[in-house]
Structure 1
Amino acid sequence: MKKRILTILTILISAITFACSCDIPKSILEFESAEYVFEGKVISKIYANDSLTYTVTFEISKHYKEGDNPATIEFTFKSEGKYTGEWTSCDWSVNKDENWLVYAAYWKEKLTFGYFCSNSKPLGRRTISKNEQKILDNGNSFKLENYIYQFEYDFNYTKPVSDIDSVLKTGKIKDYEKPFTWLKLFVDKNGNLNSVTTHTGYQLKNDSIFNLPTEFEIKLRKPLTEFEKDAIELVKKIPKWEIKKHKKTNIPVPYIRHLSIEYDKEKKEWKYEL
């Protein structure tokens, strides 16, 4: 019986741990996409007549983002499970008298904010770290185009403009010993391919305030194999890529693209995967 209870508890804990797992965006990018970033206290919480939603009002003590600075802001959320009859491990709520740091943005024309997948947080349970405070204090001077991006969800997914299939058909036909590699491509804000190297053959220099890369430098940790050399030269023939832009501001930015290249010995053809 004890083993059964332990198994059930393990399953429940695992469900709670993984159900809401997600990458919290870098705080400066959430700052950039937000309409408001502020610290405030919840001065009221009012449930709708059917109790299925509630509206909270924040009294703002400090605005971080330049622009319109209202003294109060309201948000409406789905009510807790005891009112709706629906419970998930992702449930969270906002309560009266709580102090919060909020990154608020418009979603489907509604001003709102999140918790599990956001840098928004009730102050007390989660505190503002020194690094985040530095970002908040300097957020208005941030310039998107001065940094290099990779996997951030605030941007569009890019593909090559050049015909990659036609380029691969010009690849060398050889009996390579290890015919596979992961490559890193550095593309500028105009969509021009600047550099190509292996997935370990580069170094990034990060900004000290926002912790984002500002420089991409090829720095090989080991000699290139014959296949890697030929693969790099082949990929360099794909000069044009789609421009990467920030979804809210439409600002173009430089970025790193990841590309796997292999040579099929049996079919004698080059293949790739983005």
Structure 2
Amino acid sequence: MSTNVTADAPEWFRTAVASEPEHSSITVHGARIAYRSWGEPGAPGLILVHGGAAHSGWWDHIAPRYAQDRRVVALDLSGHGDSDWRDTYRLGAWADEVTAVAAAAGATTEAVLVGHSLGGLVGIRTSIAHPGLAEKLVLVDSRILDAAMLDEIQRNQPEEGIPRGSKHYPSLEAALERFRLVPDHASLDFAREYVARQSVVRDDDGWRWKFDRGFADELTDLPSCPPNDCRLSVVYGEHGVVTPAMIDTVTAGLDEPARVVELAGAGHHIPLEQPLELMDVIDDVVRA
């Protein structure tokens, strides 16, 4: 069982993270992309895409629930986790990474793609660039950005908040004391600590966070909405970052009405705040 699990974690969480994934990697556009997978290759796929400044370990307590019937894969987008960093980042390149990982892992059959936050934007871009990959797309509190909103975010990055990848700490304990979720709300302590311990790495200069602080600096290829034939579900927190206008934008013009679910009391980081409720929604999507 993982040493990253705290004593107060419930049994369901302990059981889930004790299900060790396969760790693999492939090269996409010159960068090594790391990913985790569960279940049998060739089974119906479930593709899990993390948010900005996060990593594939955010899904460790969720993915095993589906491994008996599905091939589940969670990747580290370039600039995140154990994947390589790039000079510049594009949603289109991340979409190519998602598609390549799903193919390498054998997770393309009847696939469902679930993306949290930035991962939802990657999911939309994937549905546009690679329309045959996923039958269904689930956006989890994904802010639908236009160019003006993105420019404001890029110009007003906080000096404090999410610890920066270039910042080094003298010890693991010192780094973990600075771990923050932005925006923070009411995440489960045991889940937050579990992902925090996977979010740091030691190099010659000390301990640092596993993401490139410049991953969003030059993003411009923002998707407006998924294709008309996308079978879309939108899950958002009552206190998250998604607005009714964003939901209207992303669901407009679909051939089939989108499934829209608000999680009462939840904030932005739903996988760490209400994972069981999120899994209930994913259950409904994969069964539909």
TM-score by length of 1: 0.24
Decide which structure has the larger Cα Rg and report it.
Answer: 1
